Amino acid sequence: MKGFVFSAPTAVVFGSGSVETVADHVGRLGCRHPLILTGPSIGSSPILDAVKRPLERAGVEYGVFCGVTPEPPAEILAEAVYRIRREGYDLLIGFGGGSTMDFTKIASVLSLRDLRIEDMAGNDRVPSKGLRTVMIPTTAGSGSEVSPVAVLSFPGEGMKRGIASRFLIPDTAIVDPSLTLDLPPQITANTGVDALIHGIESFLSVKANPLSQNLSLMACEHLSAHLARAVCFGRDLEAREGMSLGSLIAGLAFSMAGTAAVHALAYPLGGHFHVPHGAANAVLLLPVLRFNLSACRDRYARLAMAFGVAEPADSDRSAAAFLEVVGDLIRQAGVKTRLRDLGIPREAIPSMAEAAMREVRLLENNPRPVTKADAERLYSEAW
């Protein structure tokens, strides 16, 4: 067996109602003056009280920055950092979906050091840790609450790119599924499918190890069992708990094993056409899984069982059953399955393939090597 390193440095607090403990966790990190970072819609919604009230009850003086947008321009990041420095915050609370948590990670680093985000893109290029962070996700999808990754837009390159570093790993994740009860079906579906793909891709990644693979399988079990239910019955707390738990576990798995070609090919859709991350991943999932089949037959058989397929007679049949069950799940979730339905013109395929090939950080994890010609074929199949 190949040796491996297991590291899960984030303190995880999981459970409905756990957001009530936020002040304790700020104190436990030795901090007294947190800034809550969130987006404009949460900023003007009563859900923000879920974080504000426990801080107020504990007498913690906090600030709120509600300017985080999904693809934040550099000026918004600079504005947040300016406020953090000027008002002397000692901890950042990222309250929102993946983009908000990613923004919070980068703001934490920039609050202590003057750096250019372009210089940090890729693996291990963040020079040091930033302010302490507590992440409180309001979606079940990105896994950003425990991951070392932040994805940002690089407008000059027309591309979303990942910044991955152990210095971005949050100190504490408070995962409270009750915060996701009011998420609309489409966001539940897009973010849930993203989490599911984290489970699948981390399992198949060449960087996977026995521990990460078991986390991946456990994530797939929870997510596949609860996705359709959470989309159809948003107020079903048990379904929401299953999704939040699955998404968290998938986050731990891909923090070790990474994601692969689905994510690499999805990034240009976000960068060029502003397609939401989960929706972009969803259209590429089946083409990439079919492409990887020859390298992954046995692993698909193991995944099939995590997806609830009864143990079949041979791996060929169970690999086929896996592809079928994934296709059914994606359709049940109601996400789009064709690039053309996302408004992407066929002529964009060569430039998207070129952009995807720059995602070496992800492509090198894929169980089968992907050439530029393969990438074009995969986009054509998804079109």
| Min CB(194)–Fe ion separation in Å | 4
Q: Which is nearer to Fe ion, 91 or 330 (CB)?
A: 330
Q: Which of residues 349-378 bind Fe ion (CB under 5 A)?
A: none
What's the 3-state SS for the chain?
Answer: CCCCCCCCCCEEEECCCHHHHHHHHHHHCCCCCEEEECCHHHHCCHHHHHHHHHHHHCCCCCEEECCCCCCCCHHHHHHHHHHHHHHCCCEEEEEECHHHHHHHHHHHHHHHCCCCHHHHCEECCCCCCCCEEEEEECCCCCCCCCCCEEEEEEHHHCEEEEEECHHHCCCEEEECHHHHCCCCHHHHHHHHHHHHHHHHHHHHCCCCCHHHHHHHHHHHHHHHHHHHHHHHCCCCHHHHHHHHHHHHHHHHHHHHHCCCHHHHHHHHHHHHHCCCHHHHHHHHHHHHHHHHHHHHHHHHHHHHHHCCCCCCCCHHHHHHHHHHHHHHHHHHHCCCCCCHHHCCCHHHHHHHHHHHHCCHHHHCCCCCCCCHHHHHHHHHHHC
Q: Which is nearer to Fe ion, 62 or 103 (CB)?
A: 103
| Min CB(119)–Fe ion separation in Å | 23
β-pairing, 11-14 vs 172-175, is: parallel
| Min CB(150)–Fe ion separation in Å | 12
| Min CB(137)–Fe ion separation in Å | 13
| Min CB(281)–Fe ion separation in Å | 6
Q: Which is nearer to Fe ion, 23 or 282 (CB)?
A: 282
Q: How many residues lie near Fe ion (CB under 5 A)?
A: 1
Residue at shortest CB range from Fe ion: 194
User: Is 145 within 8 Å of 103 (Cβ atoms)?
Assistant: no
Q: Which is nearer to Fe ion, 91 or 183 (CB)?
A: 183
| Min CB(263)–Fe ion separation in Å | 6
190 Cβ neighbours under 8 A, 6+ residues apart = 141, 276, 277, 278, 279, 282, 335
| Min CB(113)–Fe ion separation in Å | 27
90 Cβ neighbours under 8 A, 6+ residues apart = 31, 32, 33, 34, 131, 132
Q: Which is nearer to Fe ion, 55 or 154 (CB)?
A: 154
Q: Which is nearer to Fe ion, 194 or 241 (CB)?
A: 194
Q: Which is nearer to Fe ion, 108 or 147 (CB)?
A: 147
Q: Which of residues 178-237 bind Fe ion (CB under 5 A)?
A: 194
| Min CB(266)–Fe ion separation in Å | 8
| Min CB(267)–Fe ion separation in Å | 10
Q: Which is nearer to Fe ion, 260 or 321 (CB)?
A: 260
47 vs 23, 38, 40, 61, 113, CA distance in Å?
17, 11, 12, 19, 32
Query: Could you tell me which of 171, 141, 138 has the C-alpha nearest to residue 246?
Result: 141
| Min CB(195)–Fe ion separation in Å | 8
Task: Provide the binding-site residues for Fe ion, judged by CB under 5 A.
Answer: 194
